[in-house]
Structure 1
């Protein structure tokens, strides 16, 4: 009788990890769309942003403006997920290649669990080296 409930218990234990890992995929899809405002919803109050050769810590609003400017200058066409780490329940990491009208870029981002939400704490965008 107890074995019938085992799959339900397993699902309840795995579900939080799956929902957190979905943030990696969701952000990748938002990069493909070039949607800076939706990506900004994931930003922590301060975000470590490295865009090409400029690196600094910005407020959530400043980081959103920088990302929006990047998307206006580089219209996204496609995204390819290269790497993802979601084994740590407190930190997730994703690396993707963003194809734009002006070339390819390597995008790396780190998410940290704050409360029950995953917040983007670090974003790095650099030219893809071929």
Structure 2
């Protein structure tokens, strides 16, 4: 029976959607926020990113945004991060909301990303005090 199914599976492999067995982009970011790893998060930034942290917002370069995020993590040491909401129905865009627990309170993180050259890059990042 297995000898019969194996060739069928091999022939069907190219028709299985590429992202079917991969974790989602936002799910991959959550542990980086929990660790407060601004450098690894910034690797996923678009060259220019709309960044809003606690009502201070502007468009920054990738390097500037990483420094601002690092400063946020130094003031608010993360303890946990969970994915609250995820929209992944558009193959060229991802949107997610994370809950970030820190030693100074909880924050809501909104992430918007777009596919560029077959890779998702964060185009907008918002961090607000959780209500």
TM-score (norm 1): 0.88
1:8 and 1:25, CA in 2 relative to 1: closer, same or farther beyond 3 A? Answer: farther
Match of 1:100? 102
Structure 2 residue 16 is matched with structure 1 residue 13:
yes
Number of positions where the alignment pairs a residue of Structure 1 with one of Structure 2: 128
Runs of 4 or more above 2 Å deviation: 1-19
Gaps of 5+ in 2: none
Q: Unaligned 5+ residue runs, structure 1?
A: none
Secondary structure at the residue paired with 1:25?
A: helix
Deviation at 1:14, TM superposition (A): 2.2
Give me the whole-angstrom Cα distance separating, in 2, the residues matched to 1:105 and 1:79. Answer: 9
Show the counterpart of 1:76.
78
Q: CA RMSD in A?
A: 2.2
* Kept after mapping to 2: 8 A contact 1:76/1:98: yes
Deviation at 1:4, TM superposition (A): 5.4
Decide whether the 8 Å contact of 1:97 with 1:104 is kept in 2: yes
SS at match of 1:15: coil
TM-score computed with the length of structure 2 as normaliser: 0.88
